[in-house]
């Protein structure tokens, strides 16, 4: 039963370095007082084995976490924190289909979507695996027909373009994977993504397409999301203007949803609906039928390899001891900086052009999961929870925002994600890319002392500005090559990292009540935008802005 949380005053935000209320945190705090004064440069000088000690290889994925402000004792204490938080117990509850999403009374089973073992997964006494497999098969058959040209548009032409209409988890995951796995795409089938309710997004995409050769996937877990439904109705109207008859819709519109009634009401035959279930969270749904655009683009086999990669990471997460468990280590390091060093953000820096959308995807995955100040029991927390996750292509970031990471006043732990083999044939380009990644992590770690700066060849003026403090932490996640399997491993590692952190912070990482208020207010405001009289029902600012919009709306 939830209790009413004590609300903080408006000026109060949870202090970022208050330790968690777990017994081991007292020790961790004392330990932090010694580690915070140590420089990683000295740690490396003292321990030539530091890379071996603090790196972990799992198949084609290597995590080097040696450039972190940690010692063996730090990791020992952090692992104890994971034990005290009962990560193992909560992990088992998740994999066993218990309803750990307490506020929505739902199981959390994205792991079942990629359960390629023979083991059943039970929810309310029912094994969900036959249903999961049936949808995978249905997607394979449908995608096969479209890819081979057997599925034709109403005028008999083959489908050349697929448009996924969705937003949030029904857009970011498929879009990111589509971009990441470009080398595996069907050469004659393009996928487009419409998410924004700014009409220019839909217009710009549709004006390049031929309705006779376009297939729409309306992707929405709820099938009620305003932006998605507005774009879906617009797409249907655009299509019918050309096709004239509603009986042609069947060849050009399919749905991915949990909401049969709404799909049928929209006019899509439920036989053309690809089902998923309430135990799949939107931001964890790319493995489900929400991945239909991925299957269409890269084919069933590559999609299965993506699932296999994620499943391999799931198995590792389930069975590896915490001290050698990749997602657990990533999570604990995040906690170390967030709750002891007071770091407020975490930056994601892919050094692979095809992974340039990964930061945006992880923003939703992480911040919608752990951006919470009320714990799973309804109590207000007094410690920092989810980090601000941000980032962009690393090499471009070097020429834009890295200055602040190197010499600003904030501590920003960084994840560098790099493919060892490029899909490009330009090896010398790739060498430059990798050299830059290495240089950045070394510079962040080492910095440059005054003596080193003075002895350099450059000018001897402005020395304080040219000194780098260093001691900035980073992880390096190295993929042998960006394959479907490696991508599956990487994404599942981040999902479990988010899960572990949520448990340590005692959060329910699987609801998202914080997005509801804005949605409700938007629905209330929408009719007020087209009235003639001045609006006076809100605060002065909102009234003023609405009335200002009235003026320009009339003028246009
Ligand atoms: O508004 C947030 C959210 O509910 C996300 O959690 C979700 O991924 C997105 O909207 C889209 O929701 P749906 O798939 O139901 O359209």
What's the rounded Cα separation, in Å, for the pair 415 and 350? 8
Atom of ligand 1 nearest to the CA of 228: 16
HEC-encoded secondary structure of 301-331: HHHHHHHHHHHHHHHHHHHCCHHHCHHHHHH
Place of tokens 């000690």: 53
- Most informative mutation of 164, 167, 171, 370 for ligand 1 (most atoms within 8 A of CB): 167
CA of 120 to the centre of ligand 1 (A): 28
User: Does 452 qualify as catalytic in the annotation?
Assistant: no
What's the rounded Cα separation, in Å, for the pair 449 and 439? 16
> What pLDDT does residue 1 have?
42
Contact 395, 436 (CB under 8 A): yes
CA of 336 to the centre of ligand 1 (A): 31
Contact 224, 259 (CB under 8 A): yes
Cβ(441) – ligand 1 distance below 6 Å: no
Q: Of 82, 132, 124, 86, nearest to 107 (Cα)?
A: 124
Cβ(55) – ligand 1 distance below 6 Å: no
Place of tokens 């929405």: 220
By DSSP bridging, strand 61-64 and strand 474-481 are antiparallel
CA of 285 to the centre of ligand 1 (A): 10
Contact 95, 123 (CB under 8 A): no
Cβ(230) – ligand 1 distance below 6 Å: no
Which contacts (CB < 8 Å, 24+ apart) does range 50-56 have?
56/324, 56/326, 56/329
Rounded to 5 degrees, what are φ and ψ at 171?
A: -140, -50
CA of 174 to the centre of ligand 1 (A): 14
Which one from 37, 319, 399, 554 is the annotated catalytic residue?
399
What's the rounded Cα separation, in Å, for the pair 385 and 375? 10
- Most informative mutation of 171, 227, 263, 282 for ligand 1 (most atoms within 8 A of CB): 282
Cβ(214) – ligand 1 distance below 6 Å: no
What's the rounded Cα separation, in Å, for the pair 292 and 217? 8
Atom of ligand 1 nearest to the CA of 225: 16
User: Does 399 qualify as catalytic in the annotation?
Assistant: yes
Nearest alpha carbon, ligand 1 atom 6: 282
Which one from 157, 182, 519, 523 is the annotated catalytic residue?
519
CA of 512 to the centre of ligand 1 (A): 9
Per-residue pLDDT of the chain (556 residues; tens, 9 = 90+): 444 444 544 444 444 444 577 889 999 999 999 999 999 999 999 999 999 999 999 999 999 999 999 999 999 999 999 999 999 999 999 999 999 999 999 999 999 999 999 999 999 999 999 999 999 999 999 999 999 999 999 999 999 999 999 999 999 999 999 999 999 999 999 999 999 999 999 999 999 999 999 999 999 999 999 999 999 999 999 999 999 999 999 999 999 999 999 999 999 999 999 999 999 999 999 999 999 999 999 999 999 999 999 999 999 999 999 999 999 999 999 999 999 999 999 999 999 999 999 999 999 999 999 999 999 999 999 999 999 999 999 999 999 999 999 999 999 999 999 999 999 999 999 999 999 999 999 999 999 999 999 988 766 899 999 999 999 999 999 999 999 999 999 999 999 999 999 999 999 999 999 999 999 999 999 999 999 999 999 999 999 999 999 999 988 8
Q: Of 26, 16, 71, nearest to 343 (Cα)?
A: 16
Contact 503, 85 (CB under 8 A): yes
- Most informative mutation of 106, 173, 196, 221 for ligand 1 (most atoms within 8 A of CB): 221
**SS3 (DSSP) at 161:** strand
- Most informative mutation of 174, 225, 509, 515 for ligand 1 (most atoms within 8 A of CB): 225
Atom of ligand 1 nearest to the CA of 282: 8
Other beta carbons less than 10 A from residue 511's beta carbon: 19
Cβ(512) – ligand 1 distance below 6 Å: yes
Which one from 212, 368, 472, 485 is the annotated catalytic residue?
368
Cβ(258) – ligand 1 distance below 6 Å: no
User: Does 368 qualify as catalytic in the annotation?
Assistant: yes
Atom of ligand 1 nearest to the CA of 257: 14
Nearest alpha carbon, ligand 1 atom 3: 168
Atom of ligand 1 nearest to the CA of 172: 8
CA of 168 to the centre of ligand 1 (A): 5
Cβ(265) – ligand 1 distance below 6 Å: no
Q: In 447-481, where does DSSP find H-type helix?
A: 450-454, 463-466
């Amino acid at each position: 039963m939830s209790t009413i949380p004590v609300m903080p005053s408006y000026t109060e935000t949870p202090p970022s370095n208050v330790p968690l209320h777990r017994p081991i945190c007292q020790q961790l705090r004392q330990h932090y007082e010694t580690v915070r004064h140590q420089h990683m440069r000295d740690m490396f000088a003292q321990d030539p084995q530091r890379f071996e000690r603090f790196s972990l290889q799992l198949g084609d994925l290597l995590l080097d976490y040696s450039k972190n402000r940690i010692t063996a004792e730090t990791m020992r204490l952090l692992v104890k924190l994971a034990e005290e938080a009962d990560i193992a117990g909560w992990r088992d509850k998740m994999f066993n289909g218990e309803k750990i999403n307490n506020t929505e009374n739902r199981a959390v089973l994205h792991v079942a979507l990629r359960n390629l073992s023979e083991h059943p997964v039970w929810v309310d006494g029912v094994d969900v695996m036959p249903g999961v497999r049936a949808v995978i098969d249905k997607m394979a058959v449908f995608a096969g027909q479209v890819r081979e040209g057997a599925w034709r548009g109403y005028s008999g032409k083959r489908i050349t373009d697929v448009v996924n209409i969705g937003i949030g988890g029904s857009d970011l995951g498929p879009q990111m994977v589509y971009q990441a796995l470009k080398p595996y795409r069907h050469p004659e089938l393009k996928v487009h993504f419409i998410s924004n309710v700014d009409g220019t997004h839909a217009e710009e995409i549709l004006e390049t397409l031929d309705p006779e050769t376009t297939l729409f996937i309306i992707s929405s877990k709820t099938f009620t999301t305003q932006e998605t439904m507005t774009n879906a109705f617009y797409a249907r109207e655009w299509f019918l203007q050309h096709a004239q008859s509603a009986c042609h819709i069947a060849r050009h519109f399919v749905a991915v949803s949990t909401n049969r009634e709404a799909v049928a009401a929209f006019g899509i035959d439920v036989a053309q609906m690809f089902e998923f279930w309430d135990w799949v969270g939107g931001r964890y749904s790319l493995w489900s039928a929400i991945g239909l655009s991925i299957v269409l683009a890269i084919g069933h086999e590559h999609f299965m390899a993506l699932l296999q990669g994620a499943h391999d990471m799931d198995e590792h997460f389930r069975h590896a001891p915490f001290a050698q468990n990749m997602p657990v280590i990533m999570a604990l390091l995040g906690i170390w900086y967030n709750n002891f060093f007071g770091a407020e953000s975490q930056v994601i820096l892919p050094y692979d052009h095809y992974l340039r959308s990964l930061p945006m995807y992880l923003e939703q995955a992480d911040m919608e999961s752990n951006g919470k100040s009320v714990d799973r029991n309804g109590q207000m927390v007094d410690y920092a929870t989810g980090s601000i996750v941000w980032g962009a292509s690393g090499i471009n970031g070097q020429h834009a925002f890295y200055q602040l990471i190197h010499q600003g006043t904030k501590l920003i732990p960084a994840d560098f994600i790099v493919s060892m083999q490029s899909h490009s044939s330009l090896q010398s380009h790739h060498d430059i890319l990798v050299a830059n990644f290495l240089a950045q992590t070394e510079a962040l770690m080492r910095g440059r002392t005054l003596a080193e700066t003075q002895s350099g060849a450059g000018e001897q003026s402005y020395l304080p500005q040219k000194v780098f403090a260093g001691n900035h932490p980073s992880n390096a996640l190295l993929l042998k090559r960006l394959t479907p399997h490696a991508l599956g491993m990487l994404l599942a590692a981040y999902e479990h990292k988010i899960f572990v952190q949520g448990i340590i912070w005692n959060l329910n990482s699987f609801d998202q009540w914080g997005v509801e208020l804005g949605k409700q207010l938007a629905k209330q405001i929408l009719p007020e935008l087209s009235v003639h009289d001045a609006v006076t029902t809100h605060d002065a600012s909102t009234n003023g802005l609405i009335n200002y919009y009235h003026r320009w709306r009339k003028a246009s």
